[in-house]
């Protein structure tokens, strides 16, 4: 599916809403964040995933009706969306701390 068609279908779907479009620093890292208005969950779709799947599959992934394993795990901690699979141990620990909201320095 073409990304432009995907964007149009998300915006015309009563259950989904496009939240953000992030253009990556290198080719292939462009993503679109889609929110499921019923559950409030957000799914990040890499453009490569959009190109490889039909609308029915992409919608099922966004609504949680289908396994989202072909999608990348990404975070915006570094100021832009980036894949966390390439992060070092320190950056992964920072992500874990932010998820818990644990910003305290141990022993202080």
What are the sequence ranges of the domains in the chain? 3-72
Residue 102 has pLDDT above 90, yes or no: no
Average pLDDT over residues 74-88: 69
| Cβ-contact 50, 6 below 8 angstroms | yes
| Cβ-contact 38, 59 below 8 angstroms | no
Q: Each residue of 11-38: pLDDT tens digit?
A: 999 999 988 776 665 555 678 888 888 8
CA atoms within 13 A on the CB side of 103: 2
Q: Each residue of 41-76: pLDDT tens digit?
A: 888 888 888 888 899 999 998 888 876 665 555 666
| Structure confidence at residue 92 (pLDDT) | 79
Is the entire prediction scored with pTM above 0.85? no
| Structure confidence at residue 64 (pLDDT) | 80
């Amino acid at each position: 599916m073409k990304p432009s068609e995907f964007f149009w279908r998300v915006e015309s779907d009563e259950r989904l809403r496009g939240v953000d479009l992030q253009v990556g620093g290198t080719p292939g890292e462009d993503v679109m964040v889609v929110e499921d208005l019923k559950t409030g969950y957000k799914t990040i779709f890499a453009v490569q995933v959009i190109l490889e799947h039909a609308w029915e599959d992409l919608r099922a992934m966004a609504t949680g009706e289908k396994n989202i394993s072909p999608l990348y795990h990404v975070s915006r901690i570094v100021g832009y969306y980036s894949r966390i699979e390439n992060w070092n141990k320190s950056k992964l620990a920072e992500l874990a701390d932010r998820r818990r909201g644990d910003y305290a320095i141990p022993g202080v």
